[in-house]
Structure 1
Amino acid sequence: MIVSAEPEPQVVQRTEGVAGGELVLRRAGGHWEILSNGVFLMDTRDGASEREMVRAALDALPEGTAGARVLIGGLGVGFSAREALDHPRTGRVTVVELEPKVIEWHSGPLGPVAGHLPGEPRCELVCADLAVWLAEAAGRAAAGGDRYDVLCLDTDNGPDWTVREANGRLYEPAALDLIEAVAVPGGAVAFWSAMRAPAFAELLERRFGGVAEIAVPARAGEPDIVYLVRTRG
């Protein structure tokens, strides 16, 4: 029996990323891949762990919750945003993405992957550095602005493997302060990681008094990990 190999990936677009370095969109057969500085970030082959991150966070809300406001850090290929939009507890989704080209791709080649997110009336795509945006959102929340029932951070590859060094600050105590400031009391916060991050799990445990670790099998190697906490309230 002859098994045909997947075609070699073909570069569709190549651009200079806002974060510095090269951002590449490739197509491999029927799938899409995004790379930054030659490092693989994500593709459209699975997305099980990204979907589980969102689903677990929304399911952690009190029974009967409806119209939940969901904040997602990182757009990627759109799996997280689509899962949130399709969940019965969701009212509105805000996605914060650093790279304008990634957002642009969702009006082009990546559009069909997640159901054309830019045209979704319940989905807002914001082009911003998540750490900066959280600081600004915390100020708005303190003045009576929006807070979020669910926050899902799918930024970079997790706390212990960041392609962009500056993203490490998203997993530090100061960032947890901001996250808690923009979350409703008792809200759910989920963090995606490409591997177990014991030190980060301990930080969450100390801060929130409990953390659930959800392992999702990956296509190869270690499972992807979702860390889930509830904010104090």
Structure 2
Amino acid sequence: MSVLPTRQGLPEAEVIDRREGPYGEVALRRRGGHYEIIANGCFLMDTADGRSERLLVQAALDGLAAPRPSVLIGGLGVGFSLAYAAAEPRWGRIAVAEREAAIIDWHRTGPLGTFSAGALDDPRVEVLHTDLVRYLAESADRYDALCLDIDNGPDWTVSEQNDSLYGPAGLAAAAARLHPGGILAVWSAQPSSAFEQALRDAGFTEVRTEEIAVERGVPDVVHLARRAG
């Protein structure tokens, strides 16, 4: 393990695992009692507070009337969204798309399994080891909800490949993966009025944003929209 300098007065971070993959480097760090996922040097998420990740799933479910709706979660991350979905018996099929094999391993055999809470063993759950952007563009699958959390938001992507997800082509692909009336929920580290307008321009209806206050700085948000029926 290597030790990284302190950040903003927090304890030092230990690198538990670091791997090179087709999308660059991904690392798992432990800082005090929490774990952090870092992609190409960019902080993605940690296990300190999963409220907004849970809201991502709950807000989508609240917008659905269908019995046993299906949901695609992208990506797996620290597992908060998946664990929350698996704990809700109303969901039918639960798919999670994750492009990093390392993150899947950290849940199956590593310390992140504590946070996904055995959800990977739920018979409703299917782990798709795939790039979400490519999956949305090329798959023929359809879902009642898409709950997307692969970046720090539409205005702060982890890799250039993800930029297209939040533009016309990506939103058209997301709509194509939804049943009519389905819900698109997108996590972001900050509100984006430009993304709200992009959703409307793409034909989504009932566009709105829910906020979760954080300890410091702007709130985390979940952007929500419905595919026209």
Q: Given residue 172 of structure 1, which amino acid in structure 2 is its aligned partner?
A: G
Match of 1:117 in 2: 119
What SS does structure 2 have at the residue aligned with 1:204? helix
Q: Does the CA contact (< 8 Å) of 1:158 and 1:192 recur in 2?
A: yes
Counterparts of 1:83 and 1:121 in 2: how far apart (Å)? 15
User: Aligned AA for 1:44?
Assistant: T
Which residue of the other structure, out of 35, 40, 43, is the alignment partner of 2:43? Answer: 40
1:103 maps to 2:113: no
1:17: which partner in 2? Answer: 21
CA contact 1:106–1:117 (8 Å) conserved in 2: no
Aligned to 2:210: 214
Provide TM-score, normalisation by structure 1. 0.89
**Any runs of at least 4 consecutive aligned residues in structure 1 with deviations exceeding 4 A, and if so which?**
none
- Structure 1 counterpart of 2:146, which letter? L
The counterpart of 1:199, out of the listed 169, 174, 194, is: 194
Structure 1 gaps, min length 5: 141-145
Which position in structure 1 is the counterpart of 2:138?
136
Selected match of 1:155 from 139, 142, 150: 150
Partner of 1:67: 68
Does 2:164 align with 1:169? yes
Which deviates further from its counterpart, 203-212 or 48-57? 203-212
Q: Distance in 2 between matches of 1:77 and 1:214?
A: 21
Shift of 1:6: 5.5
TM-score, with structure 2 as normaliser = 0.91
Instruction: Check conservation: 1:9, 1:27, Cα contact below 8 A.
Output: yes
1:209 offset after TM fit, Å? Answer: 3.3
Aligned position for 1:26: 29
Decide whether the 8 Å contact of 2:83 with 2:115 is kept in 1.
Answer: no
Alpha-carbon separation, structure 2, partners of 1:224 and 1:164: 20
Give yes or no for contact 2:205–2:227 (8 Å, CA) kept in 1.
Answer: no
Q: Which residue does 1:93 correspond to in 2?
A: 94
Identity %: 51
Say whether residues 1:182 and 2:182 are aligned partners.
no
Offset at residue 211 of structure 1 (A): 0.5
Deviations 1:134-166, CA, capped at 9 Å, x for gaps? 1222xx2xxxxx420111111111110012111
Quick one: distance in 2 between partners of 1:55 and 1:135?
25
The gaps in structure 2 that reach 5 residues or longer are 1-8
Aligned alpha-carbon RMSD (Å): 1.5
Note if contact 2:147-2:185 (Cα within 8 Å) is conserved in structure 1. Answer: yes
1:143 corresponding residue in structure 2? none
Count matched residues.
219
Residue range with higher mean Cα deviation, 6-15 or 104-113: 6-15
Residue 177 of structure 1 aligns with an amino acid whose one-letter code is A
Is the CA contact 2:86–2:119 (under 8 Å) kept in the aligned structure 1? no
